[in-house]
């Protein structure tokens, strides 16, 4: 079931938490991680009335999400959850009961939720044009951002980059004098930094890895990580 740029999958094979994480990372993207995935109607629709506990991508090392997501909200079932039980270091959601979360020993075997992300961060430094060709040859295209939901999800990806900026599919045409997305979406939603330089030829859009992850105008020949949209 698709939510924004992500697709959730309920895997009914019983595995321990580490096996479930490995399965998701090999076949999809990762265990379901973050509030938007594990506390929504989309997830509830997948189990259709069945009662079970299911692994999610939260584990205790100060309770972190498997995919590195930065969501601090927690939805623990306080009748079942005891954070002093040091052996229960992996999180599960209680389907068709409260929907709250609890924890259990990581070697217990349970069904689990994977998600498949339709975006991928490429941690290779390339020029904007090289990044464009790479995405089109191996995936679909350089990523477009058309609303605040796209922005919020993509900036979570950008935090994991190893370059100061990350290329987007945003390009300036000197001939016509405007910015456009290479995927043909109109540039209506904008998130430019306040100190961006004036428009100029041979410039493309990148997102700042640091907070608040504003857009920046960068020379095409600079080399950064980039995000592709999948086919």
Q: How many domains does the chain have?
A: 2
Pair 46, 123 in one domain = no
Pair 105, 128 in one domain = no
Pair 30, 56 in one domain = yes
Please give the pLDDT value at position 102.
Answer: 66
Pair 46, 150 in one domain = no
Pair 108, 173 in one domain = no
Look at residues 116, 139, 169 and tell me which one is the last residue of a structural domain. 116
Pair 106, 185 in one domain = no
Pair 159, 71 in one domain = no
**Tens of pLDDT, residue by residue, the chain (231 residues):** 444 557 888 898 999 988 998 898 888 888 887 666 666 666 667 666 666 788 877 655 445 566 655 544 444 444 444 444 445 557 666 554 445 566 778 888 988 888 887 888 999 999 999 999 999 999 999 999 998 888 988 988 898 899 999 999 999 988 888 899 999 888 899 999 987 767 778 899 999 999 899 999 999 999 999 999 986
Please give the pLDDT value at position 79.
Answer: 45
CA distances to 18, 35, 47, 108 from 93, in Å: 16, 12, 12, 14
DSSP string, 32-64: --SHHHHSSHHHHHHHTT--EEEEEEEETTTTE
Look at residues 59, 94, 116 and tell me which one is the last residue of a structural domain. 116
Q: What is the CATH number of the domain that holds 205?
A: 3.10.100.10
Which domain, by its residues, includes 58? 2-116
Q: Which residues contact 28 (CB under 8 A, 6 or more apart)?
A: 7, 9, 114, 115, 116
Pair 157, 184 in one domain = yes
Look at residues 116, 134, 150 and tell me which one is the last residue of a structural domain. 116
Pair 97, 131 in one domain = no
Pair 155, 205 in one domain = yes
Pair 146, 108 in one domain = no
């Amino acid at each position: 079931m698709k939510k924004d740029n992500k697709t959730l999958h309920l895997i009914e094979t019983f595995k321990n938490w580490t096996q479930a994480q490995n399965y998701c990372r090999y076949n999809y993207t990762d265990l379901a991680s973050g509030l938007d995935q594990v506390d929504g109607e989309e997830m509830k629709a997948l189990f259709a009335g069945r009662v079970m506990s299911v692994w999610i991508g939260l584990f205790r090392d100060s309770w972190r999400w498997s995919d590195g997501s930065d969501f601090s909200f927690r939805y623990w079932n306080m009748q079942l959850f005891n954070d002093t039980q040091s052996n229960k270091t992996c999180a599960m959601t209680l389907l068709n009961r409260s929907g709250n979360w609890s924890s259990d020993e990581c070697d217990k075997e349970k069904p689990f939720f994977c998600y498949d992300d339709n975006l991928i961060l490429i941690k290779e430094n390339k020029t904007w044009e090289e990044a464009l060709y790479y995405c089109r040859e191996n995936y679909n295209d350089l990523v477009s951002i058309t609303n605040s939901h796209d922005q919020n999800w993509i900036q979570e990806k950008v935090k994991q980059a190893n370059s100061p900026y990350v290329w987007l599919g945003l390009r300036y045409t000197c001939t016509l004098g405007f910015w456009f997305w290479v995927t043909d979406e109109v540039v209506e939603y904008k998130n430019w930094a306040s100190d961006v330089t004036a428009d100029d030829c041979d410039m493309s859009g990148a997102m700042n890895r640091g907070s608040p992850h504003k857009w920046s105008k960068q020379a095409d020949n600079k080399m950064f990580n980039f995000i592709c949209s999948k086919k």
